[in-house]
Amino acid sequence: MWLAPPLSPAKAASRSKDRFTETSDNVLGFWSLPIDSSCTTHMAFTLRSVKVPSNSVSLEEAKGRVFDFFRSACRSIPAIMDIYNLDDVVTASQLRSTVASEIRKNSHVTNPKVIDMLLFKGMEELNNIVEHAKQRHHIIGQYVVGRQGLVQDLNTKDEGMSDFLKNFYKSNYF
Amino acid sequence: MGLGLLASRTLKSSRILSSQFSRFRPIVTKPELQSPDASAAAAAPQPEPTPPAPKKPVAGARVHFTNPDDAIEVFVDGFPVKIPKGMTVLQACEIAGVDIPRFCYHSRLSIAGNCRMCLVEVEKSPKPVASCAMPALPGMKIKTDTPLAKKAREGVMEFLLMNHPLDCPICDQGGECDLQDQSMAFGSDRGRFTEVKRSVVDKNLGPLVKTVMTRCIQCTRCVRFATEVAGVQDLGMLGRGSGEEIGTYVEKLMTSELSGNVIDICPVGALTSKPFAFKARNWELKGTETIDVTDAVGSNIRIDSRGPEVMRIIPRLNEDINEEWISDKTRFCYDGLKRQRLNDPMIRGADGRFKAVSWRDALAVVAEVALQVKPEEIVGVAGQLSDAESMMALKDLLNNMGSNNVWSEGTGTSPNADLRYRYLMNSSIAGLEKADVFLLVGTQPRVEAAMVNARIRKTVRATNAKVGYIGPPTEFNYDCQHLGTGPQTLLEIAEGRHSFCSVILYAKNPAIIVGAGLFERKDKDAIFSAVEAIAKYGKVIRPDWNGLNVLLLNAAQAAALDLGLVPESNDSIASAKFLYLMGADDVNLDKVPADAFVVYQGHHGDRSVYRANVILPSAAYTEKEGTYENTEGCTQQTLPAVPTVGDARDDWKIIRALSEVAGIRLPYDTLRGIRSRMRTVAPNLLRMDEIEPATFGPSLSPDITQEISLTPFRPAVENFYMTDSITRASKIMAQCSAMLLKE
């Protein structure tokens, strides 16, 4: 009985944590694999060694960096799903499209410097995620449920609602 | 009062004065100020400075010449001014644009002349004269800015401050105190008083007026107000000399419905508001000019608020409606806005308890029920505090649902909304001053509309107008002949068998005032035809005078009848399956069937909430913009002073939202939209601050076949202090009704 309790969520999380520490001890085995194989820039996923890459000289170079970043993010998705125990709430392809849509949000940006800055922030975020600096509900709240918040009214009746009624439900002052 | 202007003017001139003599102002009094001759001599050799342009009259004071021959000319500081005969020197100065400092003088009270602050110099007069009490004579040369006048004011200030405590930091009047302002502007910078200040025992004037009698400067404004305007002989002057004090002669409360006004007229902090005591400073308050809805008069008020809280209510000048007074109910009902408020939509569950829900759910439930019942079983009642916009929306909503059973409470069964003269005060409130005979039919104006009563009292005092009263025994604060208690007396007068008939016949401008409490009687048409018979033989309605008046009870009534909120059938409430109460707390809900679905939309958890199935919280009159029409047909507007409470919404918005949820969307989204809809029904409701008189007279009224019943009239208002949901929630009003209505 004591040795084989039913798998509670807390237990499952700690189990995944164990596996994470296990793998992260093996630096080459887990971390270097998805990144170093294709990344030309020196991306290392420990905070201490995050370095600001040199500026992109052209839009093309910045674009290439974006694709590199997307690839590295996609490669870390299986690990992320594992450490945060996301298998029962989301699929890998859903997460990939979330990452893609996050990137596409900034598709209007053409200044390479700005793209570099956004890339840096993206990398920082990815770093934080794979480092397990976040908790499960952060990931679910930010990338699985979406930015609209947990309370989503999916009532189809609301679609035909006038602006007046929508404002009325929000507040008295409009 | 323009005291800032006054002060700056004084400071400016004193600077010029001091530069004439030396850079430093001596502590001792100036020798040239000692005698008027010396000062005149000192002033004479100087070259006459070019006079500045004539000033504008103070506070827009206007002169009305009834007879051009009566005009006289006086000179104020060298400028000629034309004024009618009989005006005082102070009034002449006001018209010339010179504000004279004063404490005891008040334009609406009799002249006392005891504070001596208004001393001015008049040429050829041996000593300064009290301008408030001195009539202006032709050719009088008044000097308000001379060293003599200044010296006189300085001396008066020194005497007044001798016994005035130095407690301005803890005084509620601080910041709006006449004594404070005028001592800054006209007072000396030091006094010679070294003894102990006197102190006076505070008086208990009841739950509304706080007294700190040591601060009193014996201006006697409050005494004159009580005896002249309020018509109670409660306050008076006791003692002589330094022992003089204001008080009630015996231990007695001030039992007047206008007692709060003594707070406004007191120039110092001797009489202040008890509920407002130590609550706020006047400079941290935001003033919103709006109107009152606790009775049908529509008194003009200013709501002083701090953040989301109404701190006090004070009157605003409107000569046609409330002059500058308001009733105690208007002034002190505001604490009811903080109690018993509905702040969330609620649905009554199966266990009989209310459960807070979202607006979405509440409206969905209401709409679902409304669509299930038959159109003729839908009934809507607008409450006595409803604004015209929300009543328009309610009527539109119910009409779109196929029901025409919508009315405003207090208008009784089958109200007559076709002829406006039958529900308006046709001679207007200010016009009552022209009347010389009043016949009050079933109305107690003192409790129904205190400001109208103040107008009648003013007329009775000024012209000795006669007042006859038919109705239950009640208190009047003027001479009044109690003719009878019921329709019997009315019929006698209508048939010319009563002694009062001759009084009406020989009157120049007779006025009949019918109480709206009679609307509830079954035989009201017969009573009205009797009243109209009196009006006919008494020549009450003439091209130049319309004295046939109805005194309404509620703020919503006139607008409701203008908008045509008239029920189709009289007993629709007994067969209702869906009852929509828009703030209606005074409807009799005993007859409502047990299975009826009752929606209460309102701001207070008052009587009707006990029966309601759904509560929709709405905004009170201090929180919304709404149109109200008063009893004389004058349209006025409230403005929001504070934000709404909790999750409440404006009344018309709730109905508009409900209409959309129910699938019968009303075609207006904004206040402008709903007002343009109102224009098609009652265009007068868009003309703000204008009286729209009734077009037709009794010549069009249909013949009445109804039998008059002889049951006596009943009082329409039982408790003056508690008439609606706000005042019933007010603690101050509860104290008033407990203490002041005891006898």
Check A164 against B657: CB less than 8 A apart.
Answer: yes
Residue appearing with tokens 């006791």: B238
Q: What is the pLDDT at residue B208?
A: 94
What lies within 8 Å, CB to CB, of B657 at 6+ separation is A164, A165, A168, A169, B359, B363, B649
Q: Are B56 and B95 in contact (CB under 8 A)?
A: no
> Which of B359, B643, B648 is nearest residue A169 as measured by Cβ atoms?
B359
Of A16-20, B265-269, B283-287, B595-599, the one with minimum mean pLDDT is A16-20
Q: What mean pLDDT value characterizes chain B?
A: 89
Give chain A as a DSSP string. Answer: --SS----HHHHHHHHHHHHHHHHHSHHHHTHHHHHTT--S---SSGGG--PPPPPSSHHHHHHHHHHHHHHHHHHHHHHHHHTT-TTT--HHHHHHHHHHHHHTTTT---HHHHHHHHHHHHHHHHHHHTT-S-HHHHIIIIIS-TT-S-----GGGGG--HHHHHHHH-S--
What's the rounded Cα separation, in Å, for the pair B276 and B312?
A: 7
Check A169 against B619: CB less than 8 A apart.
Answer: no
Q: B107: helix, coil or strand?
A: coil
Q: Are B539 and B609 in contact (CB under 8 A)?
A: no
Longest alpha-carbon distance in chain A: 63
What 8-state DSSP symbol labels residue B429? T
Q: What is the pLDDT at residue A150?
A: 53
Q: Which residues of A touch B643 (CB under 8 A)?
A: 173
* Region B58-145: CATH code: 3.10.20.740
Q: Say what the ipTM of the complex is.
A: 0.83
Q: What is the pLDDT at residue B258?
A: 94
> Which of B358, B653, B660 is nearest residue A172 as measured by Cβ atoms?
B653
Query: Which residues of B lie inside 8 Å of A (Cβ-Cβ)?
Result: 358-360, 619, 643-644, 648-650, 653, 656-657, 660-661, 665, 669
What's the rounded Cα separation, in Å, for the pair B211 and B233?
A: 18
Residue appearing with tokens 């009303």: B666
Q: Which residues of A touch B650 (CB under 8 A)?
A: 172
Q: Is residue A81 part of a domain?
A: yes
Low-confidence stretches of chain A (pLDDT < 50) are: 1-44, 47-49
- Give the residue-averaged pLDDT of B125-137: 93
Neighbours of B55 (CB within 10 A): 16
Q: What is the pLDDT at residue B23?
A: 54
Q: Is residue A130 part of a domain?
A: yes
Q: What is the pLDDT at residue B417?
A: 81
pLDDT above 80 for B5: no
What lies within 8 Å, CB to CB, of B650 at 6+ separation is A172, B390, B618, B619, B624, B644
What's the rounded Cα separation, in Å, for the pair B503 and B86?
A: 32
Considering only CA atoms, which of B104, B103, B106, B77 is closest in space to residue B92?
B77
Q: What is the pLDDT at residue B191?
A: 85
Q: Which residues of A touch B669 (CB under 8 A)?
A: 162-164
Q: How far is B517 from chain A (nearest CA, A)?
A: 36
Q: How far is A149 from chain B (nearest CA, A)?
A: 18
Q: Is A164 on the interface with B (CB under 8 A)?
A: yes
Check B650 against A172: CB less than 8 A apart.
Answer: yes
Q: Which residues of B touch A165 (CB under 8 A)?
A: 657, 660-661
- The C-alpha R_g of chain A, in whole angstroms, comes to 20
What's the rounded Cα separation, in Å, for the pair B571 and B407?
A: 12
Q: What is the pLDDT at residue A55?
A: 84
Q: Is residue A18 part of a domain?
A: no
Q: Are B81 and B96 in contact (CB under 8 A)?
A: yes
Cross-strand bridge partners of residue B511: B438
Q: B636: helix, coil or strand?
A: strand
Q: What is the pLDDT at residue B21?
A: 47
> Which of B360, B648, B656 is nearest residue A164 as measured by Cβ atoms?
B656
Q: Quick one: how far is CA B536 from the chain centroid?
A: 33
Provide, rounded to the nearest whole percent, the portion of chain B with pLDDT above 90.
76
What's the rounded Cα separation, in Å, for the pair B237 and B248?
A: 8
In chain B, which residue's Cα lies nearest the Cα of A157? Answer: B661
Cross-strand bridge partners of residue B305: B286, B310
For residue A98, the enclosing domain spans 59-148
Neighbours of B717 (CB within 10 A): 18
Provide, rounded to the nearest whole percent, the portion of chain A with pLDDT above 70.
62
What's the rounded Cα separation, in Å, for the pair B109 and B458?
A: 11
- Give the residue-averaged pLDDT of B263-281: 95
pLDDT above 80 for B35: no
**Quick one: CA torsion of B71, B75, B81, B84, rounded to 10 degrees?**
-30
**H or E segment to which residue B310 belongs:** strand B309-315
Check B660 against A172: CB less than 8 A apart.
Answer: no
Check B649 against A161: CB less than 8 A apart.
Answer: no
Q: How far is A138 from chain B (nearest CA, A)?
A: 28
> Which of A161, A163, A168 is nearest residue B653 as measured by Cβ atoms?
A168
In chain B, which residue's Cα lies nearest the Cα of A173? Answer: B649
Q: Is residue A160 part of a domain?
A: no
Which tens digits make up the pLDDT trace of B275-316? 999 999 999 999 999 999 999 999 999 999 999 999 999 999
Check A172 against B669: CB less than 8 A apart.
Answer: no
Residue appearing with tokens 């919404």: B649
The pTM of the full predicted model, rounded to 2 decimals, is: 0.78
Check B653 against A161: CB less than 8 A apart.
Answer: no
Neighbours of B661 (CB within 10 A): 23
Residue pairs spanning A and B at CB distance below 8 A: 28
Q: How far is A159 from chain B (nearest CA, A)?
A: 12
Q: Which of the four pLDDT bands, split at 50, 70 and 90, describes residue B59?
A: low
Q: Which residues of B touch A163 (CB under 8 A)?
A: 669
Neighbours of B337 (CB within 10 A): 22
Q: What is the pLDDT at residue A42?
A: 44
Q: Is residue A64 part of a domain?
A: yes
Q: Is A47 on the interface with B (CB under 8 A)?
A: no
Structural domain total, chain A: 1
Considering only CA atoms, which of B409, B504, B421 is closest in space to residue B716?
B409
pLDDT above 80 for B48: no
Highest CATH level, class, for B285-742: alpha beta
Of B9-18, B463-472, B679-688, B707-716, the one with minimum mean pLDDT is B9-18
Q: Are B508 and B435 in contact (CB under 8 A)?
A: no
In chain A, which residue's Cα lies nearest the Cα of B653? Answer: A168
**H or E segment to which residue B654 belongs:** helix B651-661
Per the model's pLDDT, the better-predicted residue between B410 and B655 turns out to be B655
Which tens digits make up the pLDDT trace of B567-593? 888 778 899 999 999 999 999 899 999
Q: Is residue A36 part of a domain?
A: no
Return the residue in A159, A161, A165 with the most chain B beta carbons within 10 A, the one to mutate for interface testing: A165
Which tens digits make up the pLDDT trace of B433-458? 999 999 999 999 999 999 999 999 99
What's the rounded Cα separation, in Å, for the pair B599 and B654?
A: 12
Per the model's pLDDT, the better-predicted residue between B396 and B524 turns out to be B396
Q: What is the pLDDT at residue A15?
A: 43
Return the residue in B368, B616, B625, B649 with the most chain A beta carbons within 10 A, the one to mutate for interface testing: B649
Structural domain spans, chain B: 58-145, 285-742
